[in-house]
Structure 1
Amino acid sequence: MKVLIVDDEANIHKTTSIALRAMGHQAFSAYSGSQAIRKLEENKVDVIFLDLRLGPENGLEVYDKIRSEGFEMPIIIFTAFSSISTAIEATKKGVFDYVLKPFVPEQIRQALDRVGKNLSLESKVEELKTEVSESAPPALFESQDKSMQAIYRLTERAAPSDATVLILGPSGTGKTVLAKRIHSLSKRSKNPFVVVHCPSLSKELLESELFGHVKGAFTGAVKDTWGKIEAADGGTLFLDEIGDLPLEIQAKLLRFLQERQYERVGETKTRTGNVRIIAATNKDLQKDAQDGRFREDLFYRLNVISVVMPPLAERPHDIKGLAQAFLQHHARRQGRGDACTFSDSALAAILSYSWPGNIRELHNLIERCLILCDGGTIELDDLPMEVRSQSADGRSSRSHITIGGHFTLEEVEEAHINGVLNSTDNYQDAAEILGINKTTLYRKRKRNPELETADT
């Protein structure tokens, strides 16, 4: 951890710093409240040791000042035995812990162990909140497909190292899930897994998101902000859809991969980052590098260990298992228990369908079908038209919808909207792809029962 020592005695700084470094921590020193604030503005700190009697200053007033400036890290009070009652009052006020002077290194170790456990619990809570908010489907790492078995073996061997991993493959094939799996099997698993979605922001905001910025660096930069590299310190930084990373930022990322050094936007101070990089893209990065759309040197830096996720259509033996796992997952979420199932004809149609949206499309489709079906069995008629039309049992009354075929505009529109809905995460993304606003999409959904479903 990065520890700030705030004390007016030089000997305390020396002995505490030696003890902290021996334990593998990094120590910073401040001799006054104002100096402490400056140190906090310059460096990301995990915990503070604060003297209760800081020369002419009152340690609790310094504590209040630190909190008023927006710094929320745990603060441990240094106090003499004579002021222990004040220290107890300080803990009621929000101080994390206190250490009696004179102290020995073991007391420092125990205090930091308590901080570490607390931070670990907070991290787990945040991960659980994220999983709940994303309604994450179960992650399955067993496969009947030989190519997937080879991918799982490769990633399990690579996970304990710090090697950069590049995950390639079409959208919806489970690249993010695999990245989380690699992190969970690594020696960094107790530290953060932080995601940067490269296409989601402008070049300027993406640079700040990645590296951080200082106050005044650009319009709207009202305070110093730490980027995702600092947030992932000790853990894994996942760069999703890295093929969309602007060329200007590619140069800075290359430098970070080579030297582990970077600067926040608007700052000249060079910092170091201790993160493992995992990147993913649905693009052909090698071709983009040859065509000048992606830096060739960055591609080779990223391509230390490379895996290619196959489309779901190339994993036919896995479709049934995935479909049943998603069905049970959503049945439990909807309070239907474990009795939900597929009819034989519905399952046959699911196994026959080509799944252009891959695992994401399968997951979304089953969630929608379970919401709309009567009872606990998903029937053939509960499936969207484009899935029914590819059913191998011949029970569909319609041929596969094709452009130029003998279909009404309503049938074509229904099939196209269904396909887009099933291959995206939410209605906003679907509306943008369709070129209509979200309200219009909702109206079409209400007008056509085939599209009626819950917003995901």
Structure 2
Amino acid sequence: MAERIVIVDDERLTRETLVESLRDQGYDASAFASAYEALELLEEHSVEVVLTDLRMPSMDGAEFHRRIKDSWPETEVIFMTAYGTVASAVEAMRDGAADYLTKPLNTEELLIRLKRIIERQQERQEINRLRIEAAGRSSFGDLVHRSAAMRQVVDRALAIADSDIAVLVQGATGTGKEVLARAIHANSPRATGPFVAVNAAGLNPNLVESELFGHEVGAFTGASRQRKGRLEIADGGTLFVDEVDDLGPEIQVRLLRFLQERTFERVGSSRTLKSDVRVLCATKRSLQGLVEKGSFREDLFYRINSAVIELPPLAERREDILLLAEHFRREGSGANGRNGESRFSPEVVQALLSHDWPGNVRELQHVIEHTLAFTRGDEIKLEHLPQNLLSAAPVSHIELHLPDSGPVSLTDLVHDCEHLAIEWALARAGGNQVQAADLLSIPRTTLRSRLDALRTDASAQSDTPDSD
């Protein structure tokens, strides 16, 4: 649907010219001779941008702007003004106007600025939409998502949640393996039972057996009291074994036996115990490769991977980045006792979308927690991001080589900077002059004149004979 633009000016020629130019660009443009007429349309239809003269009879542009912001704060306002009233336009921008243009209008410049304003408006709308979606989403546990890759993961998890089969979750560190396991448990018949997680990589190798199966008094040095293991504690629920590939050979044998017979003994006891537990395992490594190397039992491998779910890295589910960021922002704001109204600036949005996220969802969560710790106002800005995120972002820059002594021509320096900036924009735009002009925020005609001047300079330099 085309963006709706409203033009308000008491000069008929200005109205007709602008309507024709905007409609040629695909906008839904309407024009009115007075602010009162435009307000009637605003009462009936949503409007993206109002382009209004500052000085008008009956109701001037400043009062018109105040009424728009009071009733339709999402509508942007651009002022058209004569040179003598620029100060008034600048004052209006302090009150929330999006931009101002001086008359006579340069149509190409207007189109460039209008496009930029609408893009910023759409970014804010997208962030608000994500905020609403994150607040009232239909989620699978805490798996915040909307990407096709994660929808496949959730569909598969839902399909196996009702059964009692063993599940192997594979994915890189930080992709949310435990979050997925908890969601499977929460959507299973065992949801009212305990969910017990154990990370094999985080356990003392000498105590893994005791952690999983429990021990009796005197079973080993320091065992001064009886202790139930995770398998026993998880009775009636789900046991999640993360980093299952870190289990030693002896523990692998004992876990295999439990999966086959559903019985076990505590360390230091010969009494056989039973536990009704569903076992979910996770790994960031290829268990098949470990089986081939002989470091993981093949029979255990087949026992724990009745169903396999592969979690994609965050870099492969970029549609979820902003949704996750908004989710973590809301969670963090609540934990810090804030009102939750802080928002991401467009620059932060671009930084989040541009980052590769080698640490996946966990890294994103830590980044948002970091930004909230440093944010004091209602907007999260680039300066609030961790330094590594900023330093990793590509930065375009221009180098100036100044002499150590002697005079410097400011005109020549400005000329050199302009030349480099135009080269940069053309390279970014793949040689497309329209896009390059947009990147530089100048009309296309201005870019063409600059290019002609540069070509003239280059030609003159090439015609100058070399001096000996």
Per the shorter chain, which TM-score range?
0.5 to 0.7
Select the residue among 156, 173, 194 that pairs with 1:192.
194
Deviation for aligned residue 1:203:
2.8
Residue identity in the other structure for 2:379: T
| Length-normalised TM-score, structure 1 | 0.55
Deviation for aligned residue 1:388:
2.2
The change in CA–CA distance for 1:365 and 1:142 in structure 2 (over 3 A counts) is closer
1:177 maps to what in 2?
A: 179
Distance 2:336 2:205 in 1: 40
Distance 2:201 2:397 in 1: 39
CA-based RMSD of the aligned residues comes to: 1.9
The change in CA–CA distance for 1:345 and 1:397 in structure 2 (over 3 A counts) is farther
1:88 maps to what in 2?
A: none
| Length-normalised TM-score, structure 2 | 0.53
Deviation for aligned residue 1:376:
2.4
1:316 maps to what in 2?
A: 318
Distance 1:327 1:397 in 2: 35
1:292 maps to what in 2?
A: 294
Rg larger in structure: 2
Distance 2:144 2:362 in 1: 17
Select the residue among 248, 256, 262 that pairs with 1:246.
248
Deviation for aligned residue 1:219:
0.4
Q: Deviations over 1:408-443 (max 9, x none)?
A: xxxxxxxxxxxxxxxxxxxxxxxxxxxxxxxxxxxx
Select the residue among 136, 148, 151 that pairs with 2:150.
148
2:339 maps to what in 1?
A: 337
1:386 maps to what in 2?
A: 388
Residue identity in the other structure for 1:215: V
1:110-125 correspondence runs (5 A): none
Is contact 1:166–1:303 with CA below 8 Å preserved after alignment? yes
Distance 1:226 1:304 in 2: 28
- Larger RCO: 1 or 2 (CA < 8 Å, sep 6+): 2
Select the residue among 228, 231, 240 that pairs with 2:230.
228
Distance 1:307 1:397 in 2: 48
1:10-159 correspondence runs (5 A): 140-159=142-161
Give the number of equivalent residue pairs.
Answer: 260
- State the identity as a percent: 45
Distance 2:384 2:203 in 1: 38
Is contact 1:169–1:311 with CA below 8 Å preserved after alignment? yes
Distance 2:268 2:161 in 1: 35
Deviation for aligned residue 1:142:
4.8
Residue identity in the other structure for 2:280: I
Q: 5+ unaligned residues in a row in structure 2: which ranges?
A: 1-139, 400-468
Distance 1:175 1:391 in 2: 28
SS of residue in 2 equivalent to 1:203: coil
Distance 2:178 2:263 in 1: 26
Q: 5+ unaligned residues in a row in structure 1: which ranges?
A: 1-137, 399-456
Distance 1:376 1:236 in 2: 42
SS of residue in 1 equivalent to 2:212: helix
Is contact 1:169–1:310 with CA below 8 Å preserved after alignment? yes
1:263 maps to what in 2?
A: 265
Query: 311-320 vs 375-384, which deviates more?
Result: 375-384
Distance 1:169 1:204 in 2: 27
Distance 2:194 2:273 in 1: 19
Matched, 1:160 2:162: yes
Distance 2:323 2:178 in 1: 20
2:38 maps to what in 1?
A: none
2:363 maps to what in 1?
A: 361
Is contact 2:328–2:365 with CA below 8 Å preserved after alignment? yes
Deviation for aligned residue 1:389:
3.9
Is contact 2:145–2:324 with CA below 8 Å preserved after alignment? no
The change in CA–CA distance for 1:217 and 1:396 in structure 2 (over 3 A counts) is farther
Distance 1:302 1:175 in 2: 15
Q: Deviations over 1:180-237 (max 9, x none)?
A: 0000011111111011111122233110111111111100111222111111111101
Q: Deviations over 1:240-271 (max 9, x none)?
A: 11111111100100011111111111111222
Distance 1:244 1:288 in 2: 11
